[in-house]
Amino acid sequence: MTVQAVMAETSAIEWITDPALVRQRSRDFFWYSPVLKRQLNGVTAEAVACPKDEAEVIAVMAACVKHQVPLTPRGAGTGNYGQAMPLKGGVVLDLMGLNRVVWVKPGVVRAQAGIKLIELDAITRKEVRGELRFHPSTKRTASLGGFIAGGSSGIGSCTYGKLREAGNILGLRVITMEATPRVLELRGAEIDKANHAYGTNGIITELEMPLAPAWDWIDVLAEFPDTIAAARFSEALVASDGIAKKMAGVVAPGVAQSYFKPFMQLVAPGKAAALVMVAEPFLDLLAPLLERFGGRQVYSVPTEQAETPLYEFTWNHTTLQALKVDRSLTYLQTLFPAPHHFELVAKMDALFGDEVMQHLEFVRLGGVVSCFGLQLVRYTTEERLREIIRIHEDAGAPIFNPHAFTLEEGGMKRIDSEQLDFKRVADPHGLLNPGKMIAWDDPDWTPERKRGFYLYGQADAPAVEEVLE
Amino acid sequence: MTVQAVMAETSAIEWITDPALVRQRSRDFFWYSPVLKRQLNGVTAEAVACPKDEAEVIAVMAACVKHQVPLTPRGAGTGNYGQAMPLKGGVVLDLMGLNRVVWVKPGVVRAQAGIKLIELDAITRKEVRGELRFHPSTKRTASLGGFIAGGSSGIGSCTYGKLREAGNILGLRVITMEATPRVLELRGAEIDKANHAYGTNGIITELEMPLAPAWDWIDVLAEFPDTIAAARFSEALVASDGIAKKMAGVVAPGVAQSYFKPFMQLVAPGKAAALVMVAEPFLDLLAPLLERFGGRQVYSVPTEQAETPLYEFTWNHTTLQALKVDRSLTYLQTLFPAPHHFELVAKMDALFGDEVMQHLEFVRLGGVVSCFGLQLVRYTTEERLREIIRIHEDAGAPIFNPHAFTLEEGGMKRIDSEQLDFKRVADPHGLLNPGKMIAWDDPDWTPERKRGFYLYGQADAPAVEEVLE
Ligand SMILES: Cc1cc2nc3c(=O)[nH]c(=O)nc-3n(C[C@H](O)[C@H](O)[C@H](O)COP(=O)(O)OP(=O)(O)OC[C@H]3O[C@@H](n4cnc5c(N)ncnc54)[C@H](O)[C@@H]3O)c2cc1C
Ligand SMILES: Cc1cc2nc3c(=O)[nH]c(=O)nc-3n(C[C@H](O)[C@H](O)[C@H](O)COP(=O)(O)OP(=O)(O)OC[C@H]3O[C@@H](n4cnc5c(N)ncnc54)[C@H](O)[C@@H]3O)c2cc1C
């Protein structure tokens, strides 16, 4: 009954103990993946702590260390790989109560981790006509801390790259998981220690973020003869440094028509579609680009006025929209490296036909316009899914496996020794989100090695509602 | 006495007729080039018109058409290729009297052509915390209209590319050279008709420009073991989409030490130097980059507080600083195309040694980080200069010849049929800045063909003071 002991010591703090509610807050969008769905469905914490400020966060952490209880931080729980799921039970630390802006000045904001991205953007837009450089397509629900700890890039990455690129995060205030928790401020290159670490090596309470100009954005949907034409258009747009833009996604013929409810009728049968966001003063400059690649604009509306913003049909929202129509679908995350990216895309199209439907996002990576795939996959078996992944990788298109819940198997494919070293300092007992950093349990791990893992909860637990809105 | 007739018809307008003053306002920085110096020294107008508003501009233009008098527009006269010099005499139209901001809103400003860049930036910074995306190193003197009509890129092009890239100019108000001048608004792709046309096909009276965030910029000077190390640093910085930056220039060992008065002592003997501008919140992120390339910061000061801003040691100012010390120097303008740019630079260094001293600026071109050279050349003869140019071009490094005063021979190396077509509409009599657009006089011109030209004025006229401040 160690969780009970933690709760007793921090009784001034709001706790959730109702098992159904606790189970709900122990989940995220892991069920996007049929593999994770099988593995993680039974996972649940024993209780959820809901601190209102940093002092309460520290109190819960100290109590958990004292009683050696696992602690898993959570923002809005919109991760796709079970990042926020407490594999070993214990306590979930819900950070949504820390939702204030600390300060804002032109170009930079400092805010608490639990603030919703949409609220943060509204405040910075009003105060200094700024907004986050980029946000996940879950902007309307996700938290700032969850984005940095669990996300990677998104709407705006066509201009600013990924979170991991220097300058996209200016500071992180991190609490260590020690008997007497320390407060650290990570800046500059040190930020990588806790960036995209799934909260395994410290709880982030505040973040300092650079701001981009808050333009009046326009959602534009255009149709093209085929995927490659739409892709060339999006690529050219992203290469246009003079045009202020925030998004350049592409879906293959059939995707918008079958899965994008508001746009089904707008995109002609057999056409591919490009989904872009461009700043209002530059809207007219799309016309010559569209013409060059045989495109035709079918929809254009200010993002703020859209019933559903177009960004909720891009990035991982594309998969969500498709899942609403067909529950048998899942997805991949793929880099199609230049200069042979279009050949690779065409090759995979020829190989897989309708089984793997192209969905591409054009971004900057290390200063280079790059083609990232979040393809929709008609799922049959885990074996076939592994085969599809292998075929992509053999062809030269690395997969960032969204069907794995550890840091190493997903993004990095290797042990991040900087994050491991920092975990030794910031979480010496290994209590933070245990099971997510393979390196902690097995410092000699390589991608070739199989793992066994232990999950808290019942594997045959009934399914919890999978939120599709 | 046709100029007299023009003046008589527009006597309400301020005219300059004093021959010494007229000659001064008929010149620019053409003398950077020993070739142009020989060719253009005698060039002068007969009178200079100084209109205060667009109506006066139109009045002068109409009168010149009526009397078939050549008219050459002029901003601050800081062009390097005699762009604003009246090859066929007639009238110089000084636009510095049109110096108002028409309106400004977040992200966009509309201003008259004669406004000084430094004044424009001060106003937009104050009003909407914006500034021009990029400016020539002559920001403190040059005009907005002169930059667009005669310039190409500059400080900020490491983020936004060249003026010619879509979105970097939003609108141009252009007056046609007709009996009854028309007022045209060029937008979108049409802007290319009058952008960088040396005023040969219309007088620009207003410009609509996108704005970038007005950061607090920091000038940073760093030393490196050699040119390539400094260049790799600058290239990596420009590839860092997360770091807000405005400049990334490089000079070979010896250049800063010999020619940069305020910095001579700061850069150790034998070291190359990088000159960068970075936004204040990102300053700390230079340290890891410097370390990676063996660099050491030797100077760092807010641009606003610098005695002389560091940008006045980059772009064409590097040449100016060198000319102050050694009048025998001149320069090149070179593209070192990726991916073999560093090999090319090293190859040229090996070939020319001290005769051609590297000066590189890293910019974006079409979305790609690119290496542009404005090398210093120890001038001996025109023949040798031609040979140096030829050797570069044969090696695969195209030269944008700064020793030619026509549009075609400088930047484009080919006839721009869009600009020629527009000249047929906007200057049917061929009176605007005559002699600068070869295509007008010889539509079949190719770079192989020699040209003869006629220059108004005395070839053996005494030199006018060459302003070195
Ligand atoms: C439909 C859909 C679309 C999506 N689109 C994108 C996208 O475009 N780009 C993208 O990158 N991601 C995307 N995601 C993934 C996810 O939504 C985002 O990464 C989101 O920002 C996560 O925020 P959250 O508040 O929901 O975090 P959570 O899911 O609650 O947490 C994410 C991770 O961060 C940890 N964490 C949370 N808060 C803290 C803290 N304060 N300190 C330390 N660790 C913490 C958690 O333990 C977990 O490991 C998408 C997901 C869905 C379901
Ligand atoms: C030291 C030095 C550094 C420089 N650095 C740069 C640099 O970094 N980047 C760069 O691009 N250039 C550079 N230049 C070139 C030049 O300074 C710039 O292009 C500058 O912007 C020109 O502005 P101006 O007002 O002096 O124009 P001017 O020299 O007066 O005119 C330039 C051209 O534009 C035409 N023109 C002027 N006004 C109008 C108008 N209203 N309508 C139509 N045509 C018009 C003129 O006829 C002429 O052909 C540099 C020059 C020097 C001497």
Chain A residues touching B288 at Cβ < 8 A: 166, 188-189
ipTM of the complex: 0.95
Lowest mean pLDDT among A3-12, A71-80, A446-455, B398-407: A446-455
Is A107 at the interface with chain B, CB within 8 A? yes
For residue A157, the chain B residue with the least C-alpha distance is B241
**pLDDT score of A106 more than 80:** yes
The reply to whether ligand 1 has any atom less than 6 angstroms from the CB of A200 is no
- Supply the pLDDT for residue A461: 64
**pLDDT score of B411 more than 80:** no
Q: Do A129 and B108 touch (CB under 8 A)?
A: no
Ligand 1 center to A335 CA (angstroms): 20
**pLDDT score of B459 more than 60:** no
Q: What is the mean pLDDT of residues A53-67?
A: 98
Ligand 2 center to B308 CA (angstroms): 20
Closest approach of A165 to chain B, Cα-based (Å): 6
- Supply the pLDDT for residue B466: 66
**pLDDT score of A170 more than 60:** yes
- Supply the pLDDT for residue B442: 87
Whole-angstrom distance, CA of residue A115 vs CA of residue A94: 12
Sign, Cα dihedral of A430, A436, A442, A443: negative
- Supply the pLDDT for residue A414: 77
A91 within 8 A of A72, measured Cβ to Cβ: yes
Residue A339: asked if its preceding bond is cis (omega within 30°), the reply is yes
Confidence at B449, pLDDT banded by 50, 70, 90: low
Collect all residues with Cβ–Cβ distance below 8 Å to B421 and sequence separation of at least 6.
Answer: B193
Q: Which of A436-450, B26-40, B224-238 has the highest mean pLDDT?
A: B224-238
Q: What are phi and psi of B302, to 5 degrees?
A: -60, 135
Could you read off the pLDDT of A180-225 as tens digits, one per residue? 999 999 999 999 999 999 999 999 999 999 999 999 999 999 999 9
Could you read off the pLDDT of A224-280 as tens digits, one per residue? 999 999 999 999 999 999 999 999 999 999 999 999 999 999 999 999 999 999 999
Tokens 């009178």 — which residue? B47
A145 within 8 A of A114, measured Cβ to Cβ: yes
The reply to whether ligand 1 has any atom less than 6 angstroms from the CB of A211 is no
DSSP letter at B311? Answer: G
Q: What is the mean pLDDT of residues A125-142?
A: 98
Whole-angstrom distance, CA of residue A186 vs CA of residue A174: 7
- Supply the pLDDT for residue B465: 62
* H-run or E-run covering B301: strand B296-302
For residue A171, the chain B residue with the least C-alpha distance is B281
- Supply the pLDDT for residue B197: 94
SS3 B302: strand
The reply to whether ligand 1 has any atom less than 6 angstroms from the CB of A156 is no
Could you read off the pLDDT of B346-371 as tens digits, one per residue? 999 999 999 999 999 999 999 999 99
Confidence at B410, pLDDT banded by 50, 70, 90: confident
- Supply the pLDDT for residue B447: 76
Ligand 1 center to A196 CA (angstroms): 9
**pLDDT score of A6 more than 80:** yes
Could you read off the pLDDT of B132-168 as tens digits, one per residue? 999 999 999 999 999 999 999 999 999 999 999 999 9
Whole-angstrom distance, CA of residue A398 vs CA of residue A463: 32
Could you read off the pLDDT of B318-353 as tens digits, one per residue? 999 999 999 999 999 999 999 999 999 999 999 999
**Strand ranges across the sheet with A329-331:** A329-331, A376-378, A356-357
Cα separations (Å) of A115 from A47, A174, A201, A304? Answer: 22, 16, 21, 20
**pLDDT score of B458 more than 70:** no
**pLDDT score of B446 more than 70:** yes
Identify any residues that bridge with B356 across adjacent strands, giving them in sequence order: B377
**pLDDT score of A462 more than 90:** no
Identify any residues that bridge with B300 across adjacent strands, giving them in sequence order: B220
Closest CA to A343 of A395, A388, A293: A395
Q: What is the mean pLDDT of residues B217-225?
A: 98
Chain B residues touching A189 at Cβ < 8 A: 285, 287-288
Could you read off the pLDDT of B252-309 as tens digits, one per residue? 999 999 999 999 999 999 999 999 999 999 999 999 999 999 999 999 999 999 999 9
Closest CA to B301 of B220, B379, B363: B220
- Supply the pLDDT for residue B414: 78
Confidence at B119, pLDDT banded by 50, 70, 90: very high
Whole-angstrom distance, CA of residue B108 vs CA of residue B213: 11
Chain A residues touching B279 at Cβ < 8 A: 107
Whole-angstrom distance, CA of residue B220 vs CA of residue B383: 38
Radius of gyration of chain A (CA): 22
Average pLDDT, chain B: 95
Confidence at A335, pLDDT banded by 50, 70, 90: very high
The DSSP secondary structure of B174-216, one letter per residue, reads: EE--SSS--EEEEEGGGGGGTTTSTTTT-EEEEEEEEEEE---
* H-run or E-run covering B160: helix B157-160
Lowest mean pLDDT among A118-132, A315-329, B442-456: B442-456
Whole-angstrom distance, CA of residue B74 vs CA of residue B96: 8
Could you read off the pLDDT of A359-391 as tens digits, one per residue? 999 999 999 999 999 999 999 999 999 999 999
Q: What are phi and psi of B144, to 5 degrees?
A: -65, -50
Q: What is the mean pLDDT of residues B436-465?
A: 72
Chain A segment 392-421 residues within 8 A of B by beta carbon are none
**pLDDT score of A357 more than 70:** yes
Is B210 at the interface with chain A, CB within 8 A? yes
Cα separations (Å) of B220 from B279, B284, B301? Answer: 11, 11, 7
Which of B108, B161, B287 shows the shortest C-beta gap to A241?
B161
Average pLDDT, chain A: 95
pLDDT over 70 percentage in chain B: 95
Burial B44-72 (b: 16+ CB within 10 A, else e): bbbbbbbbeebebbbbbbbbbbebebbbb
Confidence at B457, pLDDT banded by 50, 70, 90: low
SS3 B120: helix
Q: What is the mean pLDDT of residues A394-420?
A: 88
Q: Do A107 and B168 touch (CB under 8 A)?
A: no
Whole-angstrom distance, CA of residue A376 vs CA of residue A359: 7
Identify any residues that bridge with B376 across adjacent strands, giving them in sequence order: B331, B357
The reply to whether ligand 1 has any atom less than 6 angstroms from the CB of A315 is yes
Chain A segment 292-331 residues within 8 A of B by beta carbon are none
Q: Do B284 and A188 touch (CB under 8 A)?
A: yes
Write out chain A in H/E/C secondary structure: CHHHHHHHHCCCCEEECCHHHHHHCCCCCHHHCHHHHHHHCCECCCEEEECCCHHHHHHHHHHHHHHCCCEEEECCCCCCCCCCCCCCCCEEEECCCCCCEEEEECCEEEEECCCEHHHHHHHHHHHHCEEECCECCCCCCCEHHHHHHHCCCCECHHHHCCCCCCCCCCEEEEECCCCCCCEEEEEHHHHHHCCCCCCCCCEEEEEEEEEEECCCEEEEEEEECCHHHHHHHHHHHHHCCCCCEEEEEEECCCHHHHHCHHHCCCCCCCCEEEEEEEEHHHHHHHHHHHHHCCCEEEEEEEHHHCCCCHHHHCHHHHHHHHHHHCCCEEECCEEECCCCHHHHHHHHHHHHHHHEECEEEEEEECCEEEEEECCEEECCCHHHHHHHHHHHHHHCCCECCCCCCCHHHHHHCCCCHHHHHHHHHHCCCCCECCCCCHHHHCCCCCCCCCCCCCCCECCCCCCCCCCCC
pLDDT over 70 percentage in chain A: 95
**pLDDT score of A412 more than 70:** no
Chain A segment 47-66 residues within 8 A of B by beta carbon are none
A240 within 8 A of A350, measured Cβ to Cβ: no
- Supply the pLDDT for residue B118: 98
Cα separations (Å) of B317 from A53, A196, A344, B354? Answer: 54, 44, 46, 20
Closest approach of B130 to chain A, Cα-based (Å): 9
Q: Do B367 and A240 touch (CB under 8 A)?
A: yes
Confidence at B448, pLDDT banded by 50, 70, 90: confident
Confidence at A446, pLDDT banded by 50, 70, 90: confident
- From the CA of A148, the nearest ligand is 1
Whole-angstrom distance, CA of residue A98 vs CA of residue A52: 6
- Supply the pLDDT for residue B165: 96
Can you tell me which atom of ligand 2 is nearest the CA of B205? 41
Could you read off the pLDDT of A268-321 as tens digits, one per residue? 999 999 999 999 999 999 999 999 999 999 999 999 999 999 999 999 999 999
Residue A269: asked if its preceding bond is cis (omega within 30°), the reply is no
- Supply the pLDDT for residue A459: 55
- Supply the pLDDT for residue B461: 64
